[in-house]
Amino acid sequence: MGVKKAIKQVCVTALFVALGTVTAMAADAGQASGTDVNVRAEASKEAGVLGKINKGTEFEILDKDGSWFEISYKGESGFVSKDYFEVTKADAVIDGSSVNCREKASTSAGSLGKFADGDYVCVTGQNDGWYRISYKGGSAYVSKDYVDGDYVKYTAKIANETAEASKVTVYGVVTADGGLKLRKEASMLSDVLTVLPKGTEVNVDRVGQEWVRVVTDGGLKGYVSAEFISVREGVRTTRSTGSGNGSAVVSYGKQFIGTPYVWGGTNLRTGVDCSGFVYSVYKNFGITLNRNSAAMASNGVEVSKSNLQAGDLVFFNTGGDSKISHVGIYCGDGTYVHSTDGKGNGVTVTDLNSGYSARTYVTARRVLR
């Protein structure tokens, strides 16, 4: 029986008690190591492409097939080359008795406690001879000599972690459909400070296996359930001052050029209408917009046509009246990508400043701020 199967079997029959805290298993997960990484139908470079993924979004790891990771992708399995994928969370067990859990990756670092043989840990990275693990709302380190797991060796290398920490922004995106309660303490019995709507972004102060401590843009600090927040690294999607994120949105949207127009459709592969296309593209980046084009015009902030950036939403009046009836995503080069039932018939790229588009243009909104 493999290590992973053994871990899961133990998990089904019991919960590990580590350092006095009952800890449940977490799924192995990983993310693309760059942008526009192909997810293929089979473990082969010749296999069909199911879609593309970007760094910052985690996917559950189902298995490993040679040099390919099998991941859960949009309700089905897909394969990503290990050259473009890094493990962010790996299930593991302690192999040894009275194993020190240390503050830093050094035998001279203070001990936070000791693990018993068979205790469960979640590995989030590695540094020379050490694995970084999730521990009581933060991170700790355990010598590699005492950690056993199928995917731990594929976790990201943490080179000079303390020096890089100040350069990396860690933030979270609320994924709960009904919103997420921000509590004063890490307890279901603690007071609720506010409810964060789905898609809300918050700065992450500390990450634990069950609770994440966050700070809202309004300055509220509290705890949210780790189950309903996606923790990411990099520039916050809705607070970017540059066009880098907008370019990623455009790149992602353009891969669906040719998808047919379907009224009311939101499936980027089988059919979308204009707002369904924009809605689904932004949904991939953790941003939930209003569903139809007229309502979508209230998202974000207004921007002039002369100051458009890649990723901005552009709106049109195609019905001959004053109502907004069409929307697309500005590409940054005088064109926009959109889904149309007109001459283009589906997802296509059109010149913004000539012909019908120029005559019917109404306004633009920026949701990447």
**Are 148 and 91 within one domain?**
yes
State which residues of the chain have pLDDT below 70: 1-27, 159-169, 218, 233-244, 320-322, 343-344, 369
**Are 53 and 139 within one domain?**
yes
Lookup result for tokens 């019905």: 319
Residues 6+ apart with CB under 8 A from 121: 18, 92, 93, 94, 115, 131, 133, 134, 142, 147
In sign, the C-alpha dihedral spanning 78, 84, 89, 93 is: positive
- The separation between CA 315 and the C-alpha centre of its own chain, rounded to angstroms, equals 27
Quick one: which of 365, 283, 272, 285 has its CA closest to 324? 365
pLDDT of residue 369: 60
- The separation between CA 36 and the C-alpha centre of its own chain, rounded to angstroms, equals 13
Q: What is the DSSP letter of 41?
A: S
Residue 69 in tokens: 């990771």
Q: What is the pLDDT of residues 319-362, one digit of tens each?
A: 766 689 999 999 988 999 999 987 668 999 999 998 889 999 99
pLDDT of residue 347: 94
Contact 29, 124 (CB under 8 A): no
Cα–Cα distance, 144 to 162 (Å, whole number): 19
CATH number of domain containing 315: 3.90.1720.10
**Are 10 and 158 within one domain?**
yes
Q: How many residues does the chain have?
A: 369
Q: Active-site positions?
A: 274, 326, 338
Q: What is the DSSP letter of 295?
A: H
**Are 22 and 147 within one domain?**
yes
**Are 107 and 191 within one domain?**
no
Contact 301, 365 (CB under 8 A): yes
Q: How far is CA 71 from CA 36, 37, 74, 84, in A?
A: 16, 13, 10, 13
Which residue range(s) make up the domain with 45?
3-163
Report the first-to-last Cα separation within the chain, whole angstroms. Answer: 50
Total tally of structural domains belonging to the chain: 3
Write down which residue in 192, 210, 234 finishes a domain.
Answer: 234
Cα 361–Cα 367–Cα 368 angle in degrees, nearest 5:
120
Q: Please report, as a single letter, which amino acid is at residue 362.
A: V
Write down which residue in 210, 234, 258 finishes a domain.
Answer: 234
Residue 361 region by backbone torsions, left for phi larger than 0, else alpha for psi between -120 and 50, else beta: beta
pLDDT of residue 271: 92
**Are 67 and 194 within one domain?**
no
Cα–Cα distance, 318 to 118 (Å, whole number): 65
Quick one: which of 335, 329, 338 has its CA closest to 355? 335
- The separation between CA 163 and the C-alpha centre of its own chain, rounded to angstroms, equals 24
For the full predicted model, state whether its pTM sits above 0.85: no
pLDDT of residue 236: 58
